[in-house]
Structure 1
Amino acid sequence: MGGSPSAYLTSGIDDANNDGWLRLTKFVNNQKGYAYISSKFPSTLGALIDFEYKIWRTNISENSGADGIGVFLFDASKSFSLGGYGGSLGYAPKTTTTTTTFGLNGGYIGIGIDEYGNFSNPTEGRVGGPGKKPNSIVLRSVTTNDLQTTNQYLIGVQLQASPTSNLNSVDYNTATITRPTDSEFYRRIKITVMPNAGKYDITVKWRTATNRPDSTILTYQTTEVPPDSLRIGFAASTGALYNYHEIRNLIVTTPGGVSVEKWVDKINAKVGNQLTYTVSVNNLTTSNIANLELSDTIKDGNGNTLILGNDYFNIDSISFINYGKVTNTVMGMTAGEPKTSGFTNPMNFNLNMEANSITTFKISGTIKNITQGGGLLTNVAAIDPSPTGILDEDKTNNISQVTSYILDADFTTNSAIDSDCANPDTGNTFLITVSNTGSENSIAGKTVTLTDTIPISLTVKNITATGWIISNSGNVYTFTRNEALNLGSSYPLIGIEFLPPASGTNAIINSVSVHYDGIEAVSDNNNSQVVLHPKPATSGIYHQ
């Protein structure tokens, strides 16, 4: 990743941990961010590039709505050097009265997702094009050493002319202070780069709602022979006008064969939440196939397959969508009709599919409790094409998994002492801290109880415990409170002043434990202890 300023992952910065996007630009002018995959692949294999994106802005004014995202294939033997920013989308050149930026070094093909329209515009050093075409998908050609021929315009399709509608817009044309949800604005791009007689057939499709099929935007056959090996990258840029540009759920694989993809609607979830898994099975061959086997397994953080109904996770319903392909069938199920009983884990399905089609499953279930293995819930989908009789050369895309993190409070204790050595003259003090080291605030009204069984050899003098309710039965002291404790925070310190015995040879151990009436992410860290050593005997010299 890089740029000016650099692209970055929003997880733990602008978004919750584990649940972010690759942000290529912020809502700021004259930015260019990029990321590319360092692994290279032989050009003879081609590529399938699949990702979701969001392009959005916080206000609608004259200073908003540009420029776009560039997706590119480039010669893996060349050092990486980004093209021009602004309307050149990091791929094409850009010239001004004072500077010239050449196109992407080694660029083979550049695909522009162009909200403002300048990737089609033969200005600022860009070669060819019909002029400004907002809301377009555009292809530009190889990078050359000649500014008169480099990155020429090849083809473009304008999806809508309106600058305000969201129907087929490249970007979200409604001001929002937070990223639009998938129900408000969903865009998923699929770029197929299929080898054909030493060149490429390129197809760009998109999906504008999670429950809609892919729609083909454009197709193009290249005329330039690709280099021996290629890399794939992404860039976005802004100029005087700007947007947020973000991508996620990137899949890069080979075209053809069959594949499976999986998503979950909540990366971070809580006990009681319903999770919805989306599993898409793709037949990317030119043949109808029968008896494709799909298995879907739910596991805990230790890799153990969960037993349904065991108070961890229960499946509520399973349905599948065939997008109007009536011969895309699943044994024992009917498209669009949810199944609500008879579930197993793993879940096994037998599919028949038309050529070049998709079957999508929606699996919904409820989190009942914190799972073993740190509160992780993993769902693994795998397909077995062997019963179909097809040749599936790339088996790396036959398995897909997602993990959700079950968030909750996690109470821990820390015990300390003002001095390791007993002081029978003025006494010692135990210092006890109760903290929430979990991933979620505790719940107000749920009682937190700290229990300290004071060793019987100690005499308690005084207790300081602001906000705690204190009680005792003999030498067992109990401290309770029920206000919420924010994650990363601690309750006021508990101090227990005591007098140790005047003599003794054994160390004294004070152990405490904490209990939370709510659900904890981890329960094996609720205890702590501290050791008090006896006062050393006074040494002396005996004279006869």
Structure 2
Amino acid sequence: MTRSKIIFISLAAMLGMGVADQAKAQFKVDATFRNSTEPGWTFSGNDNAGNNDSGILTGGYGLIADGNNTNDAVGNGWLRLSTDLAGQVGSARYTGGSFPSSQGVIVEFDYVAWSGTGADGISFYLYDANETMAGAIPGAGLGYCDGAGGYLGIGLDEFGNFSGQLPSVFGGCSALSGSPGSAADRVVVRGPLSANNVYVGGAAAPGGIDVPFTAIRPAADRARVLLIPNGTGGYRVTVGLGQNGGAIANVLNNLNFPYAAPANLRMGFGGSTGGLNNIHEVRGVVTSTPANIVVTKTAASATNYLRGLPMTYTVTVTNADINPVDPGNQAPTINGANAADIVDTLPAQIANATWTCTATAGSTCPAASGSGNLSFAGGYTMAPGGVLTFTITGTVATTSTCGATVSNTASANFSATDGFADIDPSNNSASATFTVRCPSLTVSKVSVDGVGTFGFTGTNGIQSHSITTSTAGTAVAGATQTLTAAGVATTITEAVPPAPFELRSVACTGLGTGGTATVDLATRSVTLNAQATSTAGPISCTFTNETRKTDLSVVKTASPTSAISGSIVDFSLTVANNGPLDASNVLLSDAPGAGLNCLSPSSTAVCTASGGASCPSPTVAVSTLLGGGITIPTLPVGGQVVVTLRCTVTATGLP
């Protein structure tokens, strides 16, 4: 026999009774059989001469005279159904309770068959709770056939005689059982005593069942038995085998077991030998009520969650049907004390998470709403087919890495102490994945009538940067800016441009739905509202600068227009702005012709202004005017500045 093998035995059925029957207390048993006692169980078997009995617990039993030096300590023992002698029969029956046949049951247990010459096998059976299985026969009957109240037996048949019948099989099951004949290493299902322990079905057990001729107890295999009513008082049986811890493959699929069950059932184990023998042992028995919890998790989008914006997960937990063959939903009613633990630990990329829960009719949520992770150790109820829907809303954290893939898993699993066990753990968790996207923005610069270097700053992650134009009138894009968060108002500001440029316009494209861009030329800025940045972009904002141009005029007059040497002449310099732009810091200078001394009779000139213009001061130094020039601070369109100075004529002779 191949070791570390898993055997999966499923008896699936439809209830066909009411919800009230399904809601009965769960049948939960946890029997390790590792110690010297096991509460709730009744053991029997051959009392052989010497210290080598069947139907015993080996933990703390002492040295067993089985030729293998078996001496298991308390905590490391087994239920020994049969020792390696001929004609043995042993049993272990759970007499500490029963379960209604309207309720499904899952039983899991470890088993080993070893040491002997290769016979006969182990049985797991259900029997009428009002009977005792008295009369069950050893050998080919595996301690099940002919047992009073025996209802359903599953044999791990090593030698093959559990498949056979009398008279061809010595000690076999009834000659009226309709057996197909002996076949070794099979999983065999037999019916109730009332139907002559009829042969219902069987299938080969790949890899075998036992390890004979060994003095060392082999590694344990594990069997799983699932019982669900079929709606007509009987059961559905599916038997699957898994080799070496691998995936389960069904060998009997939804086998119908059509025999009406007694109102209440108990379970038991049998082990027996005939002319050939083996040690048959079992431990680690766990019995629960079957359920099928199914979890789904979805994100509204797998690729379009923006950093800083809300995102939503939807998690559903369904109490699904446990019988896919017969009509109706055969899921049990799950009570709060035995409900599966629901867990969804949100990733760090989700901030400020809140959730709501809704339940379909007949089911209840653990709470209507809350914040943070989902973490519920029961505390809710689920009707057959009931669904809990959790809607989780959070914000993609602004610390999330752009382009990061974020995975998150939600799960719902029964704990070891819950009265239920899941028949399909593969669907008890579900994951959703999304990619963090970050909004991007690019500033472009156009400079008209010249080129230059222009600086920019901004909010919401826009870095200080500069753009140098190379061709007048041609746009140049700056470095792409990654915004800290989408959905946040963002301002871009141009630094004071180099003279003689000024900002003329700002235009933005690629804005989010409902987005606006508000331009303020006075502050050289544009502000994008929250809707404008609610997009991955790219957003593009183009700043256009032009050189300042306006029509300035200077008129110079002299009075008198003719003079003799030594006389005084008054000169007036009139500066006007004819538009279209206001001017500022206009430089005015004068260069007198030969034959004039403008520093005499006065070293100052008089300045007057009108039309909103301004003088640097009421009087200005003539030397400055005649040198580097004076600066007129403001000269708006229509404004005028008049500078008057007096010069002495130094020229002689005729003109």
TM-score over 0.5 for the alignment? no
TM-score, normalised on structure 1? 0.43
Q: Which has the larger radius of gyration?
A: 2
TM-score, normalised on structure 2? 0.36
